[in-house]
Amino acid sequence: MKNISIIMSLGFFFCISSLPTRSETLVTDLSQHVIEITSQFSGSELLLFGALERHAMESIQSDEIAVQGLDYDIIVVVRSDPTDLMIRKKKRVAGIWINNENQMVRGVPGYYLVGSTRPLNEFLSKEDQIELELGLENIKIVNENNEGIGDYKDALIRNMKARGLYRESSGNITVKNEILFRANLEFPSNMPVGDYKADVYLVRDGNVIINHRTDLLVDKRGFERFIYNFAHDHPAYYGIMAIIVALSAGLFTGFVARKIS
């Protein structure tokens, strides 16, 4: 009987010691999971929201266990599916700008947004930023030989920012009662279609402890979907029709101009 009591005591001790004294649960969601692009589409704004739940073992709860102050940081990253892009460098020759050099880059997001509770450098190491590709300068952009492309990368990021497709900001994630958080996500009218991923990183003491992902679909609807499918399924016919429409519009405009004059 004494041996059984000892075994039960040891078993209880190991069960208690194996449980974490404190853990977190992160729950996130989007205000909508599908963005429909129609002829009236002029951009969209979604709300990403979530809650952080902190747990302590009931068996050891006491007045000494307390969570005070905002000891967490939150990072939100939204990316579209990676794609391949051709980056061309222009050169001025005899007063005319012509394509001089180019680089094919692989796996580049057509849309990239990153936001955080405060600047990343204040709470996350540079190594982690590079590994997780957090921040515009840390997006991995390489050529076909998996080599860095220097000025081409800077030019690509600059152009994507000018088009509203790449965004980086801090302080735009609001936290309420140290539990609830929200972030407003803006999408321009020229956003690419496809599958998007919204990642939320929870950081404590400089370490990423939780990563939660939510899917988002951006798709064309109605007549735009028909044109999109036709152009991709029958590119030759689409090109011929585009030429015919352009010629018809030009002839009609010329006819109207002559009648008016």
Domain residue spans of the chain: 22-242
The region of weakest confidence among 46-55, 107-116, 211-220 is: 46-55
* H or E element in which residue 218 lies: strand 207-220
Q: Please name the helix (run of DSSP H) or strand (run of DSSP E) that holds residue 184, with its range, or none.
A: strand 180-187
Residues forming a β-bridge with 257: none
- Residue 197 is predicted with a pLDDT of 95
pLDDT, position 256: 73
The predicted structure's pLDDT at residue 223: 55
CA distances from 221 to 38, 194, 195, 233 (A): 6, 13, 15, 17
Does 224 or 152 have the greater pLDDT score? 152
Altogether, the residues listed in the chain come to a count of 261
Question: Which of 57-71, 134-148, 165-179, 223-237 comes out lowest in average pLDDT?
Answer: 57-71
The average pLDDT across 69-79 equals 82
Mean pLDDT lowest among 89-98, 179-188, 214-223? 89-98
Could you give the percent of the chain with pLDDT greater than 90?
36
What pLDDT, on the 0 to 100 scale, is given for residue 66?
Answer: 35
Q: What is the pTM of this model?
A: 0.71
Tokens of 35: 């963005």
Report, in this order, helix, strand and coil percent for the chain, each rounded to 5: 30, 40, 25
Q: Is the pLDDT of residue 133 over 90?
A: yes
More confident residue, 98 or 60: 98
